[in-house]
Amino acid sequence: MSDVDATWIVLLALGFGFGLGALVVHLGGVAASRGHRALQLANESIPDGIADVVGALESAGVVVDASNTVLRASDSAMTLGLVAERALANAELMELVQDARASGQAEERMVELRRSRFDESQVRHLSARAAPIGARFILLLAEDRTEEIRLEGVRRDFVANVSHELKTPIGAVTLLADAIDAASDDPERVRAFAQRLMVEAARLGALTQELIDLSRVQDDDPLDDPERIEVERVVERAVDAVRVAAEAKRIRISTRVADAPSVLGDEAMLVMALQNLVSNAVQYSPDGSHVGVGVRMSDDLVEVSVTDKGVGIAPGDAQRVFERFYRVDPARSRVTGGTGLGLSITKHIAVSHGGEVQLWSRLGQGSTFTLRLPVAQPEAQGAA
């Protein structure tokens, strides 16, 4: 091989080496540029003000990026369990975010959020809205509507129950009026129908009065302007209101109220609450039996217990007797004139006075309802 050929080979090799090096440098530069751009995108901050707004929200607020990573979440969002390990924890919310990203505009829907995988009743109902912020971010807002939906259901049930309860005595009054008219030439039948008409009219009147009472105790807060009330006087008034009904069944009512303290609230309401308990004890006790009303102290609470020797209440019913219109034995309630509102009213009055109502019962042995109320603090003594 000549010296000229060798020189050309060396030059070609050097040229190839320089070209390869330049290519490597160029590719490295491209890679570095792309990496820098990716880092910029990854570190791109949330638009000014959005982070502060999300942090200040009382409702649930979440900001996610293009990869659906949670960048910011309000305290309410964390409390509701919307976020887990920087990701949305609910599939429906994730779908809502994807829909908003795909459409480029705000999307809304109601979402059910299950709080426990073991208890299907633990469900929160959320009104959720997702909206794009710029080209990369999605703002998700959620309002907890669970209590609103529950109250709406209670309202519907209440209206339906009232309609049903009113329909029965009104229908009976109509039929009895027609029967009296048809039997106008038979005095005995007219008297029988008239007596039954009076029973249904009394039942209708009792239901109307208890609806009025329920409305009043729900509207008034007895602790807004409370008065000091002697528990002994509340017991006396409640028992006196039921004494005639008790004597008709030869039921003896005994009271034990020595050294009863005072409480704060509305006396008429507390008399109504206790009267409902004593009245129920009389209604559901056998003739010739005994009902006891006792008062005792338990720490800073006064407990007024009403005990009967009636048929008792099954454990499954004990959890529901304080619901509006719930009656353990509807057939017997029709005979006794029960409306299913008395215990509901009593519970509401107890709660509004800062107390509660407890129930102990065994089938065949009777029941004890206990009204528990905070004791009023001693009045300050004037200076000597």
Same domain membership, residue 226 and residue 374: yes
**Distance between CA 282 and CA 380 in Å, rounded?**
40
Give the DSSP H or E segment for 23. helix 3-42
Q: Distance of alpha carbon 212 from its chain centroid, rounded? A: 23
pLDDT value of position 232: 93
Residue 56 covered by a domain: yes
Residue 43 covered by a domain: no
Same domain membership, residue 301 and residue 190: no
Q: What angle do CA 296, 217, 327 make, to 5 degrees?
A: 75
CATH assignment at residue 85? 3.30.450.20
Same domain membership, residue 232 and residue 135: no
**Number of structural domains, the chain?**
3
User: What's 310's DSSP letter?
Assistant: S
pLDDT value of position 43: 43
User: What's 381's DSSP letter?
Assistant: P
**Distance between CA 260 and CA 302 in Å, rounded?**
8
pLDDT value of position 226: 86
* Structure tokens that stand for 308 in this block: 């009967």
* pLDDT averaged per 10 residues in sequence order, the chain, 384 residues: 57 60 57 44 56 73 90 86 88 92 92 66 84 88 86 71 70 84 85 84 76 71 85 94 91 88 91 93 92 91 93 82 67 51 87 92 90 82 41
* Structure tokens that stand for 323 in this block: 């619901």
Domain end, chosen from 115, 144, 173, is at 144
Same domain membership, residue 302 and residue 250: yes
CATH assignment at residue 165? 1.10.287.130
Residue 91 covered by a domain: yes
Amino acid at residue number 362: R
Contacts with 128 (C-beta within 8 Å, 6 or more apart), sequence order: 92, 93, 96, 108, 109, 110, 111, 140, 141, 142, 143
pTM over cut 0.75: no
Contacts with 180 (C-beta within 8 Å, 6 or more apart), sequence order: 190, 193, 194, 197
- Give one DSSP letter per residue of 99-162, joined into a string: HHHHHTS-EEEEEEEES-SS-TT-EEEEEEEEEEETTTEEEEEEEE-HHHHHHHHHHHHHHHHH
* Residue 296, helix vs strand vs coil: strand
Same domain membership, residue 365 and residue 226: yes
**251 neighbors 291 (Cβ within 8 angstroms):** yes
- Give one DSSP letter per residue of 36-82, joined into a string: HHHHHHHTPPPPTTHHHHHHH-SSEEEEE-TT--EEEE-HHHHHHT-
Domain with 201 in it: 147-219
Domain end, chosen from 103, 125, 144, is at 144
Same domain membership, residue 115 and residue 251: no
pLDDT value of position 381: 43
pLDDT value of position 282: 93
**Distance between CA 236 and CA 241 in Å, rounded?**
9
Quick count: other Cβ atoms within 10 Å of Cβ 384? 3
Same domain membership, residue 175 and residue 296: no
Same domain membership, residue 158 and residue 94: no
Same domain membership, residue 267 and residue 371: yes
Same domain membership, residue 267 and residue 189: no
Same domain membership, residue 105 and residue 199: no
**114 neighbors 105 (Cβ within 8 angstroms):** no
